[in-house]
Amino acid sequence: MFGNLFEEEDEEGVSPSPSGRVAKGGEEPPPPRGRVNLSGIKNQGGTCYLNSLLQTLLFTPEFREELFNLGPEELGRLEDKDKPEAKVRVIPLELQRLFAGLLLVDQQCASTADLTDSFGWNNSEESSQHDVQELNRILFSALEHSVVGTNGSTLIHRLYHGTTVNSIVCKECGNVSQRQEDFLDLTVCVRGVCSLEGALWDMFVEEEMFEGSNLYRCAQCDRLVTAAKSAKLRKLPPFLTVSLLRFSFDFTKLERYKETGRYTFPLNIDLRPFCEQADGGDSDFSYELFSVIVHKGGCYGGHYHVYIKDIDQLGQWEPAEDDTKPKVQKKQIRACEAEVENDDPLSVLTAIIAQEPSKSVLMDQLGQKLLDKIGSSWSKKFRKQYGPIGKFLQSHSDVFILVCNGTQVALKAYPPSPLTQPPSPADQNLHPAPASDPPHRSSTNTTPEPPHQPEPEPEGCHWFDLNDSTVTSIREADIEKQFQGKESAYMLFYRKTTLQRPIEALKNPQYKVPPHLLEMAMEENRKLQQRREEFEASNNTVELRLHLAPCYRLENGALQPINPEPGGVTMLSFDRRKTVGDLRLTIYQIQELWEGDMALTMAKSLPAGLHLYNTLTEDDLSLYSSGIYTSADLFVWNGREVSGAALLTGAEWEPVLLTVVRPSLGDEAEDGHQNGVGAEETRGGVENGASVLRREARGFAGGATLGEVREALGEPRESLLCQEKRAGKRGGEEGGGASGWRVFPPEDMQRTLKELALKDGDSLLVLESNSFDSSVFSRSGDVVTVTTPSDCRWLQVEFRPQGRDGERDKDEKRKKAMVPATGIMLLSEVKQRAMEELQLQELLSGVDCCLRQVDHTGKLLPPVCEELSVRDSGIRLMTSLTLCPGTAPKATQLFLHYCVGTAPPAGLQWEIIMEKTCTVKECLKTMLKAAGLDGDSWHLRKLDWCEEVGDPLMEEDASLLELKFSQGDTVVITEGQLPPKGFLKLSVWQYIDQSDGSKVSMETEVNHSAESSPDVQRPKLMIAVGHAKVELRSVGQVEIQDEATLEDLKAQVLTLPALQSVCVPTPAFLRVWQLEGQRLTRIIRGRQNTLSKLKLSCGTDLCVQPLQSEEDLGPKEVMLRIQMGVPGERWYYPPEELMWDASRDSSPRSLRSALAAYYGLSPDSLLLAKHYPDKHTWETLSNWSQQVSKRKKKKKAESLLGAPFHLKDGDIIGVKNLLIDSNREFITSQDEQSQQRLREQAEQRRKGGQASGCAANQGEAPEKKTGPNKTRKPEVALSINVGMFR
């Protein structure tokens, strides 16, 4: 009918369901029901219209009970639906299960996935919204067909069926012509009418006259006569459904629009004036409103929710937050609260806890509630005078009491107990109170009332707003708000006032529910309770690594294990709700031989070794309050010394692992290797004993000065210490072999390593005064240059005429030429110089020729694009090129090989140049024409990296650029039609981190390996990760079924030949990223999730990263790269990875607590910000609250996973320690330079646009630019598939 006319869109209205259809088998159990004790329904993406109608049917008790009366003997059993001979009526059975779950199962919202599967809907139909009026008719039709031959075959007819009669009276002879029509719902007009009564009056009271040119042919008079037409209601159903025609079509503008004018409807209506027979009592024509389906949005998109009157009083109605206090007292109460917060924190905390229904607050939520109440945190308002909030609570033990092992605080006057706790919704549903009991009586309600009592609950039935998974209480007056506007009533449901409910049905959700459905609900509640208990237990169990002091010694500023075997680490599983004293007692029991005091100190494994931070001194605090999380390292010692050496603890004494570089003779370096020093030579050797560089890793305390480091190295005071220059171009980039080092000035000798911003992996060059006698080292001011004497600014070009591959020219000098070249020289210039050197101008006059590389087998590689420079084309200096006849591709073209039937070299191979924008279909047509083939039964396949024929190219309309074709790829023309889909082919890249300190030796090592290794080089890609560059190297492709799991994918990736040298014990040591647009977008997680469930499609690029430990991320664990700011500097320490669990709390407070535990600092001393690499800006993460709407004043804590931050895997988080760093600005000088570059680029684009605009004004007027029209999906009729049961 309407198709997907009402599809939900962002610009009109969005469903508030946060997650849509939830995947089955999730680790976290669904939350229990809310305080209203009613269950919502999950939105599967666009099923809010279905949810609203289902809730209306559920709260129609007569319909619900008639459905429950149909037993398994009539409908069958769902367990038998897959049996071929079974007669199972799936739709009513699934509807019964859904209704029973909504009534009895203790969960916040139920799923309609099984019901929509019984409809025969697929994912696209579940994500597309339809008209709820259309669904009402189709669902009733499907139910009627599903219950044919049962006692419920007349269910819809008895409850919703009504009739109207249309009459035409002849004014000449009085003859009456009547026609009866059936209806399940009345469709009334909205346009031009202001109320429902007015629309019914126009339909069933007003007469339409046939007169003038519009006469009626009377059958009795047998001629055109004047007549009057009218309609009346003949039979009224028990339940009257009214559909409002709010959507119309403007024939002038040729577009749809929504009527948003005021349209009233009564809560009670008398239909006597509109009926054919007016005899009978008033109750026979009286109806009361019990459901209003509301549509929010426009005619092209929106969202449905429903207002429902709880006829059976199943929910627990509660007033809105603003209505709990009298309006006349609000200003006085606010003034009193403001006075309290300024005077006494004891009163503020007491008021916060007293306002909670349970008279208790979680410790980790008390700070946020204090911030919401007074607008300031404890640290800013009271900490200076009263100390930490934990100690303040303990010092007022006469007022407060810590319960649940210190994780919760309550008032001592109202201690929490099982008697004062409200019963769970599951207990209320499965064990309801007797119907004769008053709704407010409770024998356990002995808790004194708070000072301000909420307004008493009104008697009778109450109204609720059921908005997908959210259920809230509303007042009857709120219905008037839906009379008009973009959010207005769309369908009305009335019931006869004569329909009375039995007293035993009130407040009894089990009423008329079949026993087998009661057992199902009880079993589901038992499983849910068990899952919640297991989840709570596992969520509060932390794995601790205990490091014992007798197994360690102090070396190089850090703790090193005495025995390299991992015997000094003891794994301990412990409940974080217990106290530090309980943990200390447990360790005493494990270590029976321990003598003396025992101190527990937070530790962290750093590259230099183990380092200690803060010591746990308060035994009464829980592990949760102490900031101890899973996988935390604890060092067990006496608190004074380790192996006789005193320890320096804290973040300021973090050790730094430096790479000490010294000049050495070649024989000394060789001796060093034999003695096991661990040094390595860099930059290659130099003949006749020239100097090389020896490297050695040494650790130093971060608080040590540079002069102390020099003394620890045993170097004289005259020695120079140099740091490798971080910025600037390397000589190797232009073909040179030089590297620059900055000499530390004398005043830096008194500065610490932290102040000098030295980080793990940095290189420290130690030179003596006689080192500059060698030609390798030269000094200019404060810069030392290390130069290798290799002249490498050249390219060798060899001429190879066509057809003479096996011949050897007698004149070798004419065939080869050394062409001086640099990285920025164009290849066309290189070719021109080579032709001049080889004197080939006359020989190659008028002949196209190109430059090609040659692999180790002598095979010619694809021609290089001569429009590019040497560096941009990927050609390294000091390599060879071949000059041969042929055409070089342009920057917009691709050089491809193709063959027919089989892969080369079995078949004949040709070469062709195609445009990158050419589609697969056009490419196939061109190749067939060049090969002399015709016909339509051909398709293309791409040769993979194994030189084997790969998957067929399924997307014929995709361009070669979109399919990521590269120069030299081979395409195979295969006979036959395209094969069917069903498998995935994924490209795999290897993550290679180059952020270590071995940059001095990497270029030489890569160059030497390239010259000596005969392997073909694999494609590489450099991407930005924060302020660093990371290399991605292609390792090939994998073919795998889309139903395979992520663990299967990792195992298959490890079988690639290019990854055989990578040491990965198990697939769990491998992290898989998704690569999109040269960016690492997300980590693929879930070992047992299938690739189709992970939304991986054919052609997806994946990046694998080997790890040092196993990793199994949860669905809401986020991998963040955190950078601690260098105190007093505009720079950061190297990024570190932090796994942040945001499943329970995704607020900034949770992230700040995790970082505080990671660094061993106080959460109040940290300032956080997120880095945006595209704009080179930082945005501070702070605790703030936002209002949901103007009517609902409830405040919701900010989630970092949503707007505006949208934290995801790989994001950079900057951290400032305000205790030692007064600089609150996160931006660096590099960010400012990048911002300036972006502004210049924008200015150039603006000037270019103005220039084009001026040119257009001088010529023809440019076309008027219109906004892009949003293409909408084709409208598809809604349908429900029903089996045949006649």
Q: For strand 655-664 and strand 681-682, is the pairing parallel, antiparallel, or unpaired?
A: unpaired
DSSP one-letter string for 808-820: --S-HHHHEEEEE
Q: For strand 880-885 and strand 794-799, is the pairing parallel, antiparallel, or unpaired?
A: parallel
Q: How many angstroms separate the CA atoms of 266 and 268, rounded?
A: 5
- From the number of C-beta atoms within 10 Å of its C-beta (0-12, 13-18, 19+), residue 472 rates as middle
Q: Where are the beta strands (DSSP E) in 556-666?
A: 558-561, 569-575, 599-606, 609-615, 632-637, 641-642, 645-646, 655-664
Determine contact, residues 365/404, Cβ cutoff 8 Å: no
DSSP 591: -
Q: How many angstroms separate the CA atoms of 807 and 805, rounded?
A: 6
Q: Which amino acid is at 963?
A: L
Residue 363: strand, helix, or coil: helix
Q: How many angstroms separate the CA atoms of 525 and 531, rounded?
A: 10
Q: How many angstroms separate the CA atoms of 1029 and 1048, rounded?
A: 30
Determine contact, residues 1127/1217, Cβ cutoff 8 Å: yes
Q: How many angstroms separate the CA atoms of 197 and 703, rounded?
A: 84
Q: Where are the alpha helices (DSSP H) in 952-1035?
A: 999-1012
Structure tokens at 241: 């459904």
- CA angle centred on 358, ends 357 and 364, rounded to 5°: 105
Q: Which amino acid is at 469?
A: S
3-state helix, strand, coil in the chain (%, to 5): 25, 30, 45
Q: Which of 1157, 1158, 1164, 1071 is nearest to 1110 (CA)?
A: 1071
Q: Which of the following is catalytic: 48, 218, 275, 551?
A: 48
Q: Which of the following is catalytic: 130, 295, 303, 547?
A: 303
What does the longest C-alpha to C-alpha distance in the chain come to?
132
The HSE-up count of residue 875 (CA atoms within 13 Å, CB side) is 34
Determine contact, residues 559/649, Cβ cutoff 8 Å: no
Determine contact, residues 619/406, Cβ cutoff 8 Å: no
Strand partners for 860? 854
Q: Is there a cis peptide before residue 16, judged by omega within 30 degrees of 0?
A: no
Q: How many angstroms separate the CA atoms of 618 and 206, rounded?
A: 84
Q: At what angle do helices 1148-1159 and 363-374 cross, to 10 degrees?
A: 130
Other C-beta atoms closer than 10 Å to the C-beta of 353 total: 20
Structure tokens at 413: 């006057």
Q: Which amino acid is at 63?
A: F
Q: How many residues does the chain have?
A: 1286
Q: How many angstroms separate the CA atoms of 256 and 249, rounded?
A: 4
Residue 659: strand, helix, or coil: strand
Q: Where are the alpha helices (DSSP H) in 298-416?
A: 327-343, 345-354, 363-374, 378-381, 383-386, 389-395
- Can 48 be counted among the known catalytic residues? yes
DSSP element (H, E) containing 1201: none
Residue 1081: partners with Cβ closer than 8 Å, 6 or more residues away? 1073, 1074, 1075, 1208, 1209, 1210
Structure tokens at 757: 């911003």
Q: How many angstroms separate the CA atoms of 326 and 334, rounded?
A: 12
Structure tokens at 192: 């031009």
- CA angle centred on 1236, ends 1230 and 1238, rounded to 5°: 105
Among all residues, which ones are annotated catalytic? 48, 303
